[in-house]
A and B are shown apart, each in its own frame.
Chain A
Amino acid sequence: MSDAVPSDAALVVEDLRTWFLRGDATVKAIDGLDLRIDRNETVALVGESGCGKSMTGLSIMGLVPSGGQIVSGRILLDGRDLTRLTDREMERVRGRDVSMVFQEPMTSLNPLMTIGEQIMEVLRYHLGHTSDQAKRGAEQLLSLVGFARPRRLIGEYPHRLSGGMRQRVMIAIALACEPRLVIADEPTTALDVTIQAQILELLQELSQRVRSAILLITHDLAVVSEVADRVVVMYAGQAVESAPTDRLFDNPCHPYTRGLLDCIPAIEGPVTRLRSIAGSVPRPDALPPGCRFAPRCPVAFDRCPLAVPRMIEVEPEHQVRCYLFDGEPGSEGSPSGDPPA
């Protein structure tokens, strides 16, 4: 890979591998992931449970759980490789340059501290605010995320808030330092659709205002279609398709992407039997050889299990990791497949 980082990229992840090395097996949670997020862009990371979405977020945040490590690759935030930072340096980056919103806000809010104290702590630590400044900042942030009476909320403890309110507090904390990148890991999965719509609109509007890029992690393609500029489909630790949102829905190319879209019951049109993808995501300690989707792929052919396909550009800004699109001489990629020589 070239060292030149496009100047409008907020985040570039190159060939990332996050593995858990155990005595008996190697768990390859992330295994060759490439990802790029431009400034002000909302990129959605989608895929089934266990394909490595959360681990991607945790790797960027420098929060890989114990037992796991980044064994290769680079994570460039504004051109700076986060994988090379010391723990102390990373601590300064976290919350200031990149922050994360989790699915269950209760687990990331401290139950013993008031909402105000938790926001103020971030402002004091990262921005060196005085107590007065931090207090005013906290009030501003809370009104920014839609609380009518921020002053009253400042003294409340998290358990007194509803799920939707807590998630808004988490967003306030995540945006406190106007980071380059906000990672939102299933931020609305635990919420009702009406609250979900509020939170997604809020997240978008605010990131526009503070000019942060967003990495939206979700398994819900429908959510994606409404908020993301670009979608990256992930399977078994790798990106398998990346495209602007409209293109992905109009012209899904990877058999896995097509399979995912086919599974979704529609809210309109005729009701027909659902299609589903056979089998399940491979375990990361026993990845199949070659294309990782091959054991479940309805159009797999003999070349597929031989080697991992590379990312191919099928149209501008639209890449696919599948031999059907790899026009390399000698493959000519018809689905039924000429056997490779």
Chain B
Amino acid sequence: MSKPLLSVRGLSMTFPIRAGVFQRTRGHVYAVSDVSFDLRRGGTLGIVGESGSGKSTLGKCVIRLVEPTAGTVVFDGRDVTHLREPELRRSIRSRIQMVFQDPFSSLNPRQSLQSIVEEPLHVHHRLERTERAAYAADLIERVGLDPARRDRKPHEFSGGQRQRIAIARALALRPELIIADEPVSALDVSVQAQIMNLLDDLQREFGLTYVFISHDLSVVRHASEDVAVMYLGRLMELASRDSLFADYRHPYTQALMSAVPSVRRVGARRRSRVVLSGEMPDSSDPPGGCVFHTRCPYARDRCRTEVPAVHDIAENHRIACHFPIE
């Protein structure tokens, strides 16, 4: 394999919980613990997991909105884990962009479509006004919006159109890596399909690399080349899409799969339905041993004491479990 565009090793992010007048630290949230993966240029890594499993925090560490507490993030051969401004802006901000779930709260309600899309250009490039306008109009058209509406404000657009605006803005600096954090979760299936097709087209056209975060397995399956399953901040299973969906080995992946309602649950493998009991434990007090042991139907004594290491179980298929499903 050629050199990956993004290489993450042993990444952890721990937030202090502060309370009281003196804001003393009362504990820690283990949002991401010891996550490693590689992502090739032009590829898409999907990340799935329940709410609170650390997906967004992982994304924010990569784009360096937060500084990880341990591990390394290597982007295009360069260790960016602890970069500071102005170096951070110069080497990361224009090359990695993030698209969020709720396009409304991430768009300034007083700005027009055009100025939202143009804004990043002010910061990073010294283009003439007319050049900027032409460039923005191009982008607006490319994401399927009508450039004639460039003076409109975000509230005059539908949810799907707002997500297109957010994508146009993310594309403005011609980034190489886009972290799409639940980009279609708030949308109707019809609009979701439009946005997913758009992301697909843009990837091909601009050679983009994606980290695609979603809690929806069907959506991730559709979008990704490789898929990582997270639980309580940890990587449970990581494999190529086809191995993960056809031949998952981790009990948590099995539980997630069987919880997915599906309109076309046909095909060879009739899934035994495992409805997980209980809820995800608090990430400020994760269970010892395997973090999944409190809900795992296959847990044994060893699971309660020993953290399973992530190990290769087949080519391009890694898993953190003492007793993988056969």
Within 8 A of B (CB), among A256-295: 259-269, 271, 273-277, 280
Contact: B218 with A265, CB < 8 Å?
yes
Instruction: Using CB atoms, name the residue of chain B closest to A47.
Output: B188
Q: Which of B96-104, B261-269, B310-318 contacts A (4 or more CB under 8 A)?
A: B261-269
Contact: B265 with A267, CB < 8 Å?
yes
- Among candidates B190, B262, B280, residue contacting A268 with C-beta atoms closer than 8 Å: B262
Q: Which A residues lie within 8 Å of B194 (CB)?
A: 276
**A311: interface (CB < 8 Å):** no
Contact: A263 with B190, CB < 8 Å?
yes
Instruction: Using CB atoms, name the residue of chain A closest to B224.
Output: A271
For the complex, what is the distance from the CA of A29 to the CA of B275, rounded to whole Å?
A: 38
**B200: interface (CB < 8 Å):** yes
Contact: B262 with A198, CB < 8 Å?
no
What is the interface size of chain A, counting residues whose CB is below 8 A from a CB of the partner? 41
Going nearest first, the 9 A-B pairs with the smallest beta carbon separation are: A276-B193, A265-B222, A274-B193, A192-B50, A222-B261, A263-B193, A263-B189, A197-B259, A277-B190
Q: Which A residues lie within 8 Å of B217 (CB)?
A: 193, 267
**A156: interface (CB < 8 Å):** no
For the complex, what is the distance from the CA of A262 to the CA of B267, rounded to whole Å?
A: 18
Within 8 A of A (CB), among B175-231: 188-194, 196-197, 200, 215-219, 221-222
- Among candidates B189, B197, B269, B279, residue contacting A221 with C-beta atoms closer than 8 Å: B189
- Among candidates A165, A197, A259, residue contacting B190 with C-beta atoms closer than 8 Å: A259
For the complex, what is the distance from the CA of A225 to the CA of B190, rounded to whole Å?
A: 18
For the complex, what is the distance from the CA of A294 to the CA of B280, rounded to whole Å?
A: 46
**A220: interface (CB < 8 Å):** yes
**A157: interface (CB < 8 Å):** no
Q: Which A residues lie within 8 Å of B191 (CB)?
A: 48, 276, 280
**A195: interface (CB < 8 Å):** yes
Contact: B50 with A193, CB < 8 Å?
yes
**A164: interface (CB < 8 Å):** yes
Contact: B159 with A49, CB < 8 Å?
yes
Contact: B261 with A226, CB < 8 Å?
yes
Q: Which A residues lie within 8 Å of B275 (CB)?
A: 194, 197-198, 201
Q: Which B residues lie within 8 Å of A225 (CB)?
A: 261-263
Q: Which B residues lie within 8 Å of A269 (CB)?
A: 264, 266-267
